[in-house]
């Protein structure tokens, strides 16, 4: 089954199970009011969950989720996992061990023996004898579900705004459920302390007879043994798979400017890299949701299968050029040379040839992209809200720059300075920069769809673009080092962006840049001359109202490294 389909089934089945668990736990919380209220709510709940369609959907979700998670786990090619993945994996395998015996003493007893398994029966059965097991089960289910939900939602733009409320719910629901469980459990225990009431309860609930109890106990033990046997079988398969991988054919994976490793064919590229102790970004557990594992394929792309659905969707969202792939989605069978595109805290990776650049004169295209009226947007805004908005805006800008083989050189407080053509040369860099500028203009429509209402107006950008000879070098700043462009030419784009903002243009670009990009159709642009007092020279400027209207010269497109 294609990975994207099994991933979607796992997600949908997980959501169904989480909804069931949440409703179940909220029902427990009603125990804070009374046992009768608990039973009343349960009756409504059972209308859905005990109906044939409800039972079929629940059973299918449980089976699909468990089988797919089990299959994915035994197919793993690397076991260096982030802590959250490890916790989700361990809770996922502990849940069936505790859940199946509970299902047998309630649902199965009801279906086969006619037991009335309402709260009175369940609490009489559980409280206080197995209260800690049920508490552990509730917490494991909730933790497992919340981790899954968090790592699914964290890439949505609205999630950060909703997070405080969701955190409160994530704590309140299990807390209320456990308190309801405790209060009602104690109430039932007090009630059943009276032998007459205990006898009455056994009659009302059709409490299983001695033989039936033994039979149910046997069923519970068998279920525990079956789950344990499955876990042992899974562990054995994993061990044998790793032994088989040692003997499997190897391919050379070269990280541009770094090391080359020999990795066994079979695992994903992300697993190959990580199992060789090379750190690589990933925040979705290899589910094609975060895009942080993306790499540029320098050599060997022809041996890779085309992207599957999930990878295609993610790469299209990032506007990634054709030679960019997700490391978590490809399983290389031939030698590959790659450049990781996201490193550390999210900085674009530097091209390999810049890894230790001492300083070199290069003619590059520089684009300053600034947010207009930034002080008004930032004023009186919560720090977390401001960071969220800026991340939305800069995320769109960074995606467009990277998709056109550019690099964010530095943050300017209210914007960024992007560099194009460091490897491809100035002319191709200028064409790539114009492509990026158009893409940024279009991407801002989508950003504004999400945030304009919050700000009260759409966010507008002012951009300045110029081609200049600069010095490109690795700057050492205390414990860190960073590639940066230096030189007088590097200051022009910021001045041009300022000019664009004052004139009400979206872009001000130098005539030199337009010529380098091969722009011959500049109808509708404004022309100005900007004096440079220090240099005693003038700069001819074109002002563009809407960057998306720029007619790119034939052949312009996302630049690719030469």
List residues near ligand FES by CB under 6 A.
Answer: 282, 284, 286, 288-293, 326, 328
The conformation of residue 104, written as its DSSP 8-state character, comes to I
Which of 311, 441 has the CB closer to ligand FES?
A: 311
Which of 28, 76 has the CB closer to ligand FES?
A: 76
Which of 101, 267 has the CB closer to ligand FES?
A: 267
Which of 22, 278 has the CB closer to ligand FES?
A: 278
Which of 294, 370 has the CB closer to ligand FES?
A: 294
Which of 53, 306 has the CB closer to ligand FES?
A: 306
DSSP sequence for 227-282: HHHHHHHHHHHHHHHHHHHHHS-EEEEEETTS-EEEEESSS-HHHHHHHTT-----
State the nearest-atom distance from the C-beta of 291 to ligand FES, in Å. 5
State the nearest-atom distance from the C-beta of 553 to ligand FES, in Å. 34
The H or E element spanning position 190 is helix 159-192
The H or E element spanning position 49 is helix 35-49
- CB distance 473 to 484 below 8 Å: yes
Task: Outline where 357-425 has alpha helix (H).
Answer: 374-378, 383-403
Other residues' Cβ atoms within 10 Å of the Cβ of residue 447: 21
Which of 258, 317 has the CB closer to ligand FES?
A: 317
Kindly report the CA angle at 234 between 230 and 240, in degrees rounded to 5? Answer: 145
Kindly report the CA angle at 227 between 221 and 230, in degrees rounded to 5? Answer: 140
Measured distance CA(66)–CA(96) in Å, rounded: 9
Sequence-separated (6 or more) residues with CB below 8 Å from residue 279: none
- CB distance 370 to 412 below 8 Å: yes
State the nearest-atom distance from the C-beta of 289 to ligand FES, in Å. 6
State the nearest-atom distance from the C-beta of 157 to ligand FES, in Å. 17
State the nearest-atom distance from the C-beta of 221 to ligand FES, in Å. 40
Which of 4, 282 has the CB closer to ligand FES?
A: 282
Measured distance CA(560)–CA(298) in Å, rounded: 10
297, β-bridge pairs:
338
State the nearest-atom distance from the C-beta of 92 to ligand FES, in Å. 19
Which of 31, 332 has the CB closer to ligand FES?
A: 332
State the nearest-atom distance from the C-beta of 295 to ligand FES, in Å. 10
Which of 291, 351 has the CB closer to ligand FES?
A: 291
The SS3 of residue 167 is helix
Select the residue whose beta carbon is closest to ligand FES and give its number: 328
Tokens of 195: 């032998």
The conformation of residue 334, written as its DSSP 8-state character, comes to S
Kindly report the CA angle at 471 between 466 and 477, in degrees rounded to 5? Answer: 115
State the nearest-atom distance from the C-beta of 439 to ligand FES, in Å. 21
Measured distance CA(524)–CA(542) in Å, rounded: 10
Which of 288, 418 has the CB closer to ligand FES?
A: 288
- CB distance 258 to 352 below 8 Å: yes
Measured distance CA(40)–CA(27) in Å, rounded: 9
Sequence-separated (6 or more) residues with CB below 8 Å from residue 42: 27, 118, 119
Give the β-pairing of 250-255 and 336-340. parallel
Which of 273, 368 has the CB closer to ligand FES?
A: 273
State the nearest-atom distance from the C-beta of 477 to ligand FES, in Å. 30
Tokens of 135: 């508490």
The H or E element spanning position 429 is helix 426-455
The conformation of residue 302, written as its DSSP 8-state character, comes to G
Tell me, rounded to whole angstroms, the distance of Cα 439 from its chain centroid: 23
State the nearest-atom distance from the C-beta of 3 to ligand FES, in Å. 11
State the nearest-atom distance from the C-beta of 282 to ligand FES, in Å. 3
State the nearest-atom distance from the C-beta of 283 to ligand FES, in Å. 6
State the nearest-atom distance from the C-beta of 251 to ligand FES, in Å. 19
Backbone angles phi, psi at 391, to 5 degrees: -65, -40
Which of 35, 342 has the CB closer to ligand FES?
A: 342
CA dihedral of 51, 53, 56, 60, whole degrees rounded to 10: -130
């Amino acid at each position: 089954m294609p990975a994207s389909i099994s991933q979607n089934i796992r997600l949908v089945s997980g959501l169904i199970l989480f909804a069931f668990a949440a409703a179940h736990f909220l029902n427990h919380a009603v125990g804070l009011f009374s046992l009768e209220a608990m039973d009343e709510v349960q009756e409504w709940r059972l209308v859905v969950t005990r109906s044939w369609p409800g039972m079929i959907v629940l059973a299918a979700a449980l089976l699909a989720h468990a089988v797919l998670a089990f299959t994915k786990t035994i197919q793993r090619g690397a076991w260096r996992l982030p802590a959250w993945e490890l916790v989700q994996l361990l809770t996922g395998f502990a849940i069936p061990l505790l859940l199946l015996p509970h299902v047998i003493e309630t649902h199965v007893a009801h279906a086969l023996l006619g037991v009335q398994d309402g709260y009175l029966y369940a609490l009489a059965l559980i409280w206080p004898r197995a209260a800690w097991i049920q508490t552990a089960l509730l917490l494991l289910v909730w933790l497992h579900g919340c981790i899954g939900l968090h790592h699914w939602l964290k890439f949505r733009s609205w999630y950060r705004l909703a997070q405080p409320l969701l955190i409160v719910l994530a704590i309140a629901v299990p807390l209320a459920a456990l308190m309801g469980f405790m209060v009602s459990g104690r109430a039932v225990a007090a009630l059943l302390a009276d032998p007459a009431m205990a006898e009455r309860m056994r009659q009302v609930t059709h409490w299983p007879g001695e033989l039936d109890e033994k039979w149910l106990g046997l069923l519970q033990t068998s279920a525990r043994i079956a789950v344990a046997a499955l876990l042992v079988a899974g562990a054995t398969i994993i061990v044998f798979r790793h032994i088989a991988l040692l003997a499997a054919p190897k391919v050379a994976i070269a990280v541009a400017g770094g090391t080359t490793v020999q990795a066994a064919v079979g695992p994903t590229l992300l697993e190959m890299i990580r199992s060789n102790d090379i750190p690589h970004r990933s925040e979705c557990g290899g589910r094609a949701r975060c895009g942080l594992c993306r790499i540029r394929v320098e050599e060997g792309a022809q041996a890779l299968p085309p992207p599957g659905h999930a990878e295609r969707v993610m790469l299209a969202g990032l506007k990634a050029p054709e030679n960019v792939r997700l490391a978590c989605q490809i399983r290389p069978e031939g030698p590959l040379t790659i450049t990781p595109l996201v490193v550390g805290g999210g900085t674009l990776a530097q091209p390999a040839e810049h890894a230790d650049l001492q300083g070199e004169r290069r003619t590059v295209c520089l684009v300053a992209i600034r947010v207009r009226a930034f002080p008004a947007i930032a004023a009186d805004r919560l720090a977390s809200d401001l960071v969220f908005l800026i991340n939305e805006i800069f995320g769109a800008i960074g995606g467009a720059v990277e998709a056109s083989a550019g690099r964010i050189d530095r943050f300017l407080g209210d914007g960024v300075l992007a560099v194009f053509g460091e490897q491809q040369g100035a002319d191709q860099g200028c064409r790539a920069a114009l492509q990026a500028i158009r893409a940024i203009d279009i991407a801002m429509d989508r950003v504004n769809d999400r945030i304009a209402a919050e700000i009260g107006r759409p966010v507008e950008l002012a951009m300045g673009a110029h081609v200049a000879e600069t010095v490109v070098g690795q700057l050492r700043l205390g414990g860190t080092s960073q590639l940066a462009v230096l030189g007088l030419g590097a200051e022009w784009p910021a001045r041009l962006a300022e000019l664009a903002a004052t004139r009400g243009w979206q872009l001000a670009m130098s005539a030199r840049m337009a010529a380098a990009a091969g722009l011959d159709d500049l109808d509708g642009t404004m022309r100005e001359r900007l004096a440079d007092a220090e240099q005693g020279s003038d700069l001819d400027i074109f002002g563009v109202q809407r960057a998306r209207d720029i007619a790119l010269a034939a052949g312009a497109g996302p630049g690719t490294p030469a």
